[in-house]
């Protein structure tokens, strides 16, 4: 049995002993749907400045969308175009299937593509928002939009004429209070096992669930081909792509628990 097969067997055994599960997911999961990872959205984040000679961290910041909304929308549209037409993959499906089977399952995701919900997951904390949810910056108007290609930049609210924006967390903005509250309520309840999938876990609120589980002696699993900021603290490290690993774990779990 290879090291990966041994790890999959061990993870399936831990999962079989669990009633509650937390998945913490990042761009590596959606990469298996063909979406580029954070530093690879059309090369957008690969250099210090954009084609407009402005740091990308400013171009898509909360400050910029107020001062130069047309510029922010230009780069948001590039991100949306990279996501457009993408479908959820087997990794998203497995998480949704586990949610349907287990007593309590939540997913904390940094991804703004909405693919967890498309795959059928319901207990999703999309901590950075969803590109498809659009809101007015001046009035309560909201809409869902799957395609930015027909928009003028910046788009205007049909009710009040204010600037529209995606309901996502831009650079320099605070995380949404309601989602942070939900996250910490669920963390307070505890989880029998925590998976971190396809994320480098550089943000403290993304690493924290793994740290809390580790210090309390709960099983922790990392699925990522690369070494990350939480690799040293997880119980099992599976260096595979997200969809491949989740499918293998779920198949082995079902074999172990079949009547």
Q: Give residue-wise pLDDT tens across range 214-232.
A: 999 999 999 999 999 999 9
The 10s digit of each residue's pLDDT in 1-27 is 799 999 999 999 999 999 999 999 999
Residues 178, 237 within the same domain: yes
Residues 76, 178 within the same domain: no
Residues 25, 48 within the same domain: no
Range of the domain at 21: 3-34+88-128+174-257
Torsion angle, alpha carbons of 203, 204, 210, 212, to 10:
-170
Which residue, of 146, 168, 190, is where some domain finishes? 168
Residues 76, 103 within the same domain: no
Residues 51, 155 within the same domain: yes
Q: What is the pLDDT of residue 38?
A: 54
CATH of the domain at 62: 3.30.1600.10
Q: What is the pLDDT of residue 143?
A: 95
What count of other Cβ atoms lies within 10 Å of the Cβ of residue 52?
12
The strand ranges marked E within 162-252 are: 164-168, 193-197, 220-223, 236-238
The 10s digit of each residue's pLDDT in 114-165 is 999 999 999 999 999 999 999 999 999 999 998 998 889 999 999 999 999 9
Q: Which residue has the tokens 């779920």?
A: 250
Nearest to 129 by CA among 118, 151, 143, 113: 113
Which residue, of 119, 152, 168, is where some domain finishes? 168
Q: How does residue 42 score in pLDDT terms, banded at 50, 70 and 90? A: very low
Number of domains in the chain: 2
Q: What is the pLDDT of residue 11?
A: 98
Residues 28, 100 within the same domain: yes
Q: What is the pLDDT of residue 20?
A: 98
Residues 6+ apart with CB under 8 A from 121: 92, 95, 96, 99, 107
Please, what is the average pLDDT of the chain? 92
Q: What value does the mean pLDDT take over residues 66-86?
A: 89
Q: What is the pLDDT of residue 84?
A: 83
Q: How does residue 112 score in pLDDT terms, banded at 50, 70 and 90? A: very high
Q: What is the pLDDT of residue 224?
A: 96
CATH of the domain at 121: 3.40.50.1220
Flag whether pLDDT at 40 surpasses 60. Answer: no
Flag whether pLDDT at 259 surpasses 90. Answer: no
Residues 224, 186 within the same domain: yes
Q: What value does the mean pLDDT take over residues 71-87?
A: 88
Residues 251, 200 within the same domain: yes
Nearest to 218 by CA among 12, 15, 3, 8: 15
Q: How does residue 43 score in pLDDT terms, banded at 50, 70 and 90? A: very low
Q: What is the pLDDT of residue 41?
A: 43
Residues 138, 235 within the same domain: no
Residues 66, 146 within the same domain: yes
Please confirm, yes or no, whether 128 is among the known catalytic residues.
yes
Residues 159, 188 within the same domain: no
Catalytic residue among 19, 128, 132, 232: 128
Q: What's the predicted TM-score (pTM) here?
A: 0.93
Residues 149, 186 within the same domain: no
Q: What is the pLDDT of residue 46?
A: 54
């Amino acid at each position: 049995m290879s090291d990966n097969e041994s790890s999959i067997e061990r993870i399936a055994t831990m999962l079989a002993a669990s009633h509650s599960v937390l998945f913490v997911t990042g761009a590596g999961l959606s990469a298996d749907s063909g979406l580029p990872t954070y530093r690879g959205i059309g090369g957008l984040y690969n250099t210090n400045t954009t084609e407009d000679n402005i740091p990308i961290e400013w171009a898509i910041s909360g400050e910029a969308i107020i001062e130069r909304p047309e510029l922010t929308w230009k780069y948001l549209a590039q991100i949306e175009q990279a996501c457009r037409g993408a479908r959820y993959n087997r990794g998203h499906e497995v998480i949704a299937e586990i949610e349907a089977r287990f007593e309590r399952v939540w997913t904390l995701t940094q991804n703004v593509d909405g693919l967890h919900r498309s795959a059928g997951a319901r207990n999703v904390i999309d901590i950075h928002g969803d590109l498809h949810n659009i809101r007015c910056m001046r009035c309560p108007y909201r809409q869902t939009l799957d395609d930015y290609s027909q928009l003028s930049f910046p788009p205007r609210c049909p009710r009040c004429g204010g600037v529209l924006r995606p309901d996502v967390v831009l650079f320099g903005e605070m995380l949404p209070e309601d989602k942070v509250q939900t996250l910490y309520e669920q963390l307070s309840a505890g989880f029998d096992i925590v998976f971190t999938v396809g994320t480098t876990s550089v943000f403290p609120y993304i690493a924290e669930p793994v740290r809390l589980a580790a210090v309390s002696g709960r099983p922790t699993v990392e699925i990522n081909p690369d070494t990350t900021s939480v690799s040293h603290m997880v119980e099992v490290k599976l260096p595979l792509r997200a969809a491949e690993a989740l499918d293998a774990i779920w198949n082995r779990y079902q074999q172990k628990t079949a009547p």
